[in-house]
Structure 1
Amino acid sequence: MRLYHAVMRRRMFCTTSLTAALLAKPGAAAAAVLPAREPPGARRLRLRHAASGAVFSGIYHNGHAADPVAMAELSEVLADTRTGKVRPFDVEAIDIVWEMSRRQRMAELIVLSGYRTEATNREVNGAANSQHLRAAALDLQIATSQFDSFGDAALKLGRGGVGFYRAHGFIHLDSGVVRHWIDGGGPAVAVVRGPPPRTAAEQRIDRLAEAWANLRRR
């Protein structure tokens, strides 16, 4: 009974205090209800690690600089799944993943691999100089229906490395030098893409331009 009366007195005290505060400051109620505005240019990301189930969901960059607390949380989510070892993740790699999620309008990205220790990297037959070793690469699970569009968008972005692993359903992104490759079931094979084929209209324009140039040379 004493506990009941104590709880009721506390509730009455809290209610009275809140009412007094709101009467003293008419705008306080709105301030208490409205959520804080995100800073302009804030970068929000949602990642889920398929192996551990760990999730990061929130703002990791305020538009001017990365949030160290958010980056620490991201590094925990992207830790080596065999050992649990954490290494501070590369902000540039996270920026690439964020840009891809924005361009592809993906609410959540599924991560198959983030940071790897050397032992883990050897176990999965990773490259000796893999960007996973320096916490600068992510392997993202991509649905078959989105695989080509995601891969093309990643190539057009022109940032870091892009690896295509269609048979395993994932695309590798990293913040290393610009390059791309396709996994053929064995060692990764480098891909060299030429310019896209010219359309019929573009070919006609090319012929007109060539004819005009020949006339001017006469």
Structure 2
Amino acid sequence: MTHSGTNLSRRGILRAFAATALVAAPTYSNAFGLLRGAGDVRRIRMYSGRTGERLDTIYWIEGEYIGEALREINLFMRDWRNGQAIQIDTRTVDIIAATHNLLDGGREPYMLLSGYRSPETNAMLRRTSSGVARNSLHMVGQAADLRLNGRSVNQIARAAASCHGGGVGRYSGSNFVHMDCGAVRTWGS
């Protein structure tokens, strides 16, 4: 599901990366001598409280997605209940990373609560929880539910919304933010 087209929402994401490039570039240079002076580098850091796994990968270098890194992201963001994985939409990965850069330069990893959800998992969650969409973007690899230590739901949601890349949901009672690459919209409190 890689998308190379440019649109209005993409511009917001690119602005977010540009706004943090000066902050993020030294971090990348110090951590990865191989990438020193590489220019446009995008990184994503997450951990899963469900599986105990951690992800810290550079998935984009100077205009090119890195296939191996994207496969790693797909596996990490799988449905942890049944192990099923699909290709995560790179627009969602970009929104997640751009938001992360705006908040703290991506230093503190996100906690991933939910990435891909199989239709079976989504149906189960609809039966046992409120607020789960019948046609959730989680089922097509276009959404993630995240939290970030030291940042409030409102701080994360404001940063994500400033990317103008998709939907941003505030779930303050459960302490997480939903981000997706669907229509630009916000909800929750």
Larger RCO, structure (CA 8 Å, separation 6 or more)? 2
Q: Distance in 1 between matches of 2:177 and 2:101?
A: 16
Match in the other structure for 1:176: 182
- Establish whether residue 82 from structure 1 lines up as the match of residue 81 from structure 2: yes
Given that residues 154 and 170 in structure 2 are in contact (C-alpha distance below 8 angstroms), is that contact kept between their aligned partners in structure 1? Answer: no
- Percent of aligned positions with the same letter in both sequences? 28
RMSD across aligned positions (CA):
1.7
Match in the other structure for 1:119: 120
Q: Secondary structure at the match of 2:146?
A: strand
Q: Which entry has the higher C-alpha Rg, 1 or 2?
A: 1
Give structure 1 stretches of 5+ with no counterpart: 1-33, 184-218
Match in the other structure for 1:16: none
Deviation (angstroms), 1:121:
0.6
TM-score normalised by structure 1 residue count? 0.65
Q: Distance in 2 between matches of 1:144 and 1:44?
A: 20
Match in the other structure for 1:130: 136
Match in the other structure for 2:156: 150
For residues 174-206 of structure 1, the C-alpha deviation after alignment (integer angstroms, 9 at most, x for no partner) is 0011111116xxxxxxxxxxxxxxxxxxxxxxx
Q: Distance in 1 between matches of 2:150 and 2:171?
A: 11
Look up the equivalent residue of 1:160 and give its one-letter code: G
Deviation (angstroms), 1:145:
4.8
Q: Distance in 1 between matches of 2:68 and 2:52?
A: 20
Aligned length: 150
Q: Distance in 2 between matches of 1:35 and 1:152?
A: 33
Match in the other structure for 1:70: 69
2:165 to 153, 159, 165: 159
The 5 Å alignment of 1:180-199 reads 180-182=186-188
